[in-house]
Amino acid sequence: MKVAIRDDDTSYFTTPEALDRVYGDVWDRIPVCLAVVPFAIGYEQPGIPREHWHSGESFALDRNPALVSFLRELIGTKRVTIALHGCTHQDYPNGYEFQAAPDLPDRVLRGRAYLEALLECRISLFVPPHNALSKRGLAAVSAARLDILGSFLSFRPSMRPWEWRTAANWWTIQRYRRATGRTRRDSLVYPHALRYAGHAEFGCHSFVPGTTIDALRQHFEEAQRFGGNFCLATHYWELDLALGNVMRAFLDFAARQPGVRFVSAEELFSL
């Protein structure tokens, strides 16, 4: 069983100290996938200074050279990997970036090329801002051949570009619902990669304030029971000491289970 961690919202506004505070004693145990925003435009989030929430100014990652150097070092030592987290992460009146922004195909290509050149790495994963994707956004990511590491993606065929795998994967999810005793209204995280023509998708378990170690163990044990894998998704700016201790307790628990391997998020998609 593979276990991975995804952390969202690294951007110009992030300091090396903020990441090290949370993961300094973690990423030597398990690689952390940092979902990075290449050209951040401020929105209402505690990790962004309030004066930039509605400024509309774009902050390219290279305007924070200390962070860039820090990320390059972490990538070089395989303590982190990088996913593309939108292009600007800007919120729009009618939706989030990859629901409502124009020119989505260009945003994917421009953001990916910029981060790969700046951070000297290869990017194969896309994390939707706010875990929100329209059919148009999904088509743009798939056309770029990026796999999607999400949390709440809709499995409804009406929300997806059509291909034969859409129906097959929809039936896979329905069977999993029945096997786990869930109704359509109950949330689920399917513990295997779902493969489509241009990309694959893997769902993560949200790790937010209020998440308990008991809840994480239950989710883990269900994934284990069905021969699956597990990814924890969080935000460094939400992790205080108490929540960080829950994460470490979960990693200790997972490490004691037979057959568990801590891996980079990219390995969740390998066959």
Q: What percent of the chain has pLDDT above 90? A: 84
Specify the length of the chain in residues. 271
Whether the pLDDT of residue 152 is over 80: the answer is: no
Whether the pLDDT of residue 162 is over 80: the answer is: no
**What pLDDT does 126 receive?**
98
Other Cβ atoms less than 10 A from the Cβ of 68: the count is: 17
The packing angle between helices 135-143 and 104-119, to 10°, is: 40
pLDDT digits (tens, 9 = 90+) for 175-190: 999 999 998 888 899 9
Whether the pLDDT of residue 154 is over 80: the answer is: no
Mean pLDDT along residues 36-61: 90
Taking the C-alpha atoms of residue 154 and residue 152, their distance in angstroms, rounded to an integer, is: 6
Average pLDDT value over all residues in the chain: 94
Whether the pLDDT of residue 147 is over 90: the answer is: yes
What are 188's two structure tokens?
């689920």
Other Cβ atoms less than 10 A from the Cβ of 43: the count is: 18
**What pLDDT does 190 receive?**
95
Whether the pLDDT of residue 156 is over 70: the answer is: no
Taking the C-alpha atoms of residue 80 and residue 31, their distance in angstroms, rounded to an integer, is: 5
Question: What angle (nearest 5°) sits at the alpha carbon of residue 239, between those of residues 233 and 241?
Answer: 135
pLDDT digits (tens, 9 = 90+) for 189-237: 999 999 999 999 999 999 999 999 999 999 999 999 999 999 999 999 9
Question: What CATH architecture does domain 2-269 belong to?
Answer: Alpha-Beta Barrel (3.20)
55 three-state secondary structure: coil
**What pLDDT does 46 receive?**
84
Cβ atoms of 143 and 67 within 8 Å: the answer is no
Q: Domain map of the chain by residue range?
A: 2-269
235 phi, psi to nearest 5 deg: -130, 125
